Structure 1
Amino acid sequence: MQNIAIWSEEFGAATDEPILLIMGSMSQGILWPDELVGRLTAGGRRVIRYDHRDTGRSDTVDFAAQPYTWEDIKNDVYRVMDAHGLDSAHLVGHSAGGLLAQLIAVEAPERVRSLTVIAASPLGGGEGQVLLRALTGQPQPEGSLPEPSAEFVDFFRALMVAPPAEDRRGVIDGMIAEQRVLHGTGLPFDEDAARRLQERVFDRARDLSAVANHRLAAAAGPDFEPVGVLDRVKAPTLVIEGSHEPVKPGHGAIIAERIPGARLLIVDGMGHTLPAETHRELADAILTHTAG
């Protein structure tokens, strides 16, 4: 086992129902908004969030000397649960965190009290290939997942050829521009709030560039997404998608269709991020779903 320290924090009483929040690829745990965490805690939940390896305050690695795969990133979820003394928990995953949560619900059902998947793709759906084809202008084969919005594709195509920013302000400006695209067009974009968040992300990172190792991890090992297994999920499942999702539009409905008994919630105006306007609805839905 790799000796990598994972930063985490928890809120609420140790006797409350535990919720483990799993953020997406290359993302720090603080992207789970404080207000949303507070609403869950006030609703009687013990809430844990953490930084993936190579993000935030968790350890960063020299990937060439110490390579890892997404299987290792997935196994970090178990390590966080074990560190907090949890045999099982309610898993809430966002984006790639939703993929991790789906896989754990398949391979270790005894550790999952309930499953909530937000802004994610279905396990085994080939999301990475869909994104790559969209960014490189290749046609999508029949039966592929719906591809990202044109605005998302245009932004990331331009980003791939743009020179990197050289100072803190430039890096943060770029992070805000990315957040604006991920936010989608359904709700007003609060640039001041976005700047506060991205400044916090920048300042607490051990090495902001280390997040790129998550892309290397995807190529370093076998695909960690088994195909055709979602019907094996036994945990009560809630799937949440924004009505203006720019990255994975319609993917939530596919997840809900493939997991027996899953319920789909469409949050009006939400894109791929978790803005303040959605916190009450998200918290209420998660609290109801994890009520036991």
Structure 2
Amino acid sequence: MTSTDGKFVPSGELRLWTERFGDPKAPAVLLIMGTSAPGSGWPDELVEELVDGGNQVIRFDHRDTGRSTCVDFDKHPYTPADMATDALAVLNGHGIATAHIAGASLGGAIAQWLAVHHPQRVTTLTAIMAGPMGHDVGPAWTRALAGQSPDPDDLPPPSPRFLQHLFQRAGMEQSTREEYVTANLETWRVLNGDVLPFDESAARRFVEDAYDASSDPTAATNHDRAGKAMTADRLAPLSSIKAPTLIIHGTEDPLRPLPHGQALAEQIPHARMETIPGMGHAFFSPGLPRRIGKTILEHTSAGRSLMTD
């Protein structure tokens, strides 16, 4: 798929790589990727569904991923709020006042942040594989890693298989391109889950492209550090969100099990939830990107109707 407009836009001192597809005069959909993933994590098939449905679509590389600026996190730490500011800079760089916002995983939390703190920029909101932006997953992870039973009053931790993979990955070398690709490909295999088939070739292309595009592939791990910052802005009530909201979540998500998506839907009074049987925490299954693209398209089309009624 050929982008109609690929360019860098400024966000403060950073340069963010962006790609725009479709008619620049059409309604805009901004896609916000998750932790440690560049914009190409949004599959071309998903983008095509949205463009064919009459939208322009913009995806971009977060700071510390792809062709965007890499940051010295120790000297210049940042938070999800800063990453949300980057998303606004992308809209500004393309001259877009308001857009349909769709985010996956950490991108879903960033999308929530925008809907809460900059509601005038958000036409509709779609959060995929995400939980409430103000929920701290740290305690559940700590209990799980210590072999303790989950807290029944908290959202569930990742699956045992995913936690076991983290232990195994910690011992995997990633000093060469081949080692990096092998380690990350296995992570995506585990995140895909065991129900839907895993599109290994698509995942491999993504991992290889992400490595080749970045000046420092290890910088993407800074997103994990940023995501741990539970700042006051993340604790703002989601009940204030007015944009039509869709929550998409898989039944087999090993990183954020289904109750995370359900909790998010419950905190946004008007939210609609779409549960996808067998889906894990990834887009790498044949046919899945187009299915999600069509679901987002239906939501954005309905959202436009509500805004004009």
TM-score bin (small chain): over 0.9
Residue 221 of structure 1 and its aligned partner are, at CA, apart by 7.6
Q: Hey, what's the Cα distance between the residues in 2 that align with 1:264 and 1:185? A: 23
AA in 2 matched with 1:113: T
Q: Hey, what's the Cα distance between the residues in 2 that align with 1:38 and 1:239? A: 21
Among residues 110, 117, 120, which one is paired with 2:120 in the alignment?
Answer: 110
Q: Hey, what's the Cα distance between the residues in 2 that align with 1:242 and 1:192? A: 22
Deviations 1:126-176 (A, max 9, x none): 22443343234344434211221111111112323x143232111101111
Judged with a 3 Å threshold, the aligned counterparts in structure 2 of structure 1 residues 141 and 220 are, in CA distance, closer, same or farther, namely: closer
- Partner residue in 2 for 1:87: 97
Q: Quick check: 1:240 aligned with 2:256?
A: no
Larger CA deviation: 266-275 vs 132-141: 132-141
Residue 18 of structure 1 and its aligned partner are, at CA, apart by 0.5
Larger CA deviation: 68-77 vs 125-134: 125-134
Conserved in 2, the CA contact under 8 Å of 1:186 and 1:243? no
Among residues 200, 205, 208, which one is paired with 2:214 in the alignment?
Answer: 205
Conserved in 2, the CA contact under 8 Å of 1:239 and 1:256? yes
Judged with a 3 Å threshold, the aligned counterparts in structure 2 of structure 1 residues 148 and 220 are, in CA distance, closer, same or farther, namely: closer
Q: Quick check: 1:67 aligned with 2:77?
A: yes
Q: Quick check: 1:175 aligned with 2:179?
A: no
Q: Secondary structure at the match of 1:121?
A: coil
- Partner residue in 2 for 1:157: 167
Residue 63 of structure 1 and its aligned partner are, at CA, apart by 2.3
Q: Secondary structure at the match of 2:287?
A: helix
Larger CA deviation: 151-160 vs 97-106: 151-160
Q: Hey, what's the Cα distance between the residues in 1 that align with 2:145 and 2:243? A: 35
Q: Hey, what's the Cα distance between the residues in 2 that align with 1:265 and 1:18? A: 22
Q: TM-score, normalised by structure 1?
A: 0.93
Conserved in 2, the CA contact under 8 Å of 1:184 and 1:246? yes
Deviations 1:48-80 (A, max 9, x none): 000110111000122233332332112111111
AA in 1 matched with 2:123: R
Deviations 1:179-221 (A, max 9, x none): 0011111111222222222111111112101112223334568
Conserved in 1, the CA contact under 8 Å of 2:251 and 2:280? yes
Q: Hey, what's the Cα distance between the residues in 1 that align with 2:287 and 2:264? A: 25
AA in 2 matched with 1:98: G
Larger CA deviation: 205-214 vs 24-33: 205-214
Conserved in 1, the CA contact under 8 Å of 2:39 and 2:60? yes
Conserved in 1, the CA contact under 8 Å of 2:169 and 2:183? no
Q: Quick check: 1:195 aligned with 2:239?
A: no
Q: Hey, what's the Cα distance between the residues in 2 that align with 1:221 and 1:255? A: 17
- Partner residue in 1 for 2:193: 184
Conserved in 2, the CA contact under 8 Å of 1:56 and 1:204? yes
Judged with a 3 Å threshold, the aligned counterparts in structure 2 of structure 1 residues 127 and 148 are, in CA distance, closer, same or farther, namely: same
Conserved in 2, the CA contact under 8 Å of 1:39 and 1:283? yes
Conserved in 2, the CA contact under 8 Å of 1:146 and 1:249? yes
Residue 270 of structure 1 and its aligned partner are, at CA, apart by 1.3
List aligned pairs for 1:263-274, cutoff 5 A.
263-274=272-283
Q: Quick check: 1:31 aligned with 2:41?
A: yes
Q: Hey, what's the Cα distance between the residues in 1 that align with 2:42 and 2:279? A: 15
Judged with a 3 Å threshold, the aligned counterparts in structure 2 of structure 1 residues 284 and 197 are, in CA distance, closer, same or farther, namely: same
Conserved in 1, the CA contact under 8 Å of 2:49 and 2:297? no
- Alignment identity in percent? 41
Count of aligned pairs between the two proteins:
290
Give the aligned CA root-mean-square deviation in angstroms. Answer: 1.8
AA in 2 matched with 1:263: R
Conserved in 2, the CA contact under 8 Å of 1:98 and 1:117? yes
Structure 1: gaps of 5 or more residues: none
Q: Hey, what's the Cα distance between the residues in 2 that align with 1:100 and 1:134? A: 26
AA in 2 matched with 1:258: Q
Q: Hey, what's the Cα distance between the residues in 2 that align with 1:138 and 1:29? A: 37
Structure 2: gaps of 5 or more residues: 1-10, 305-309
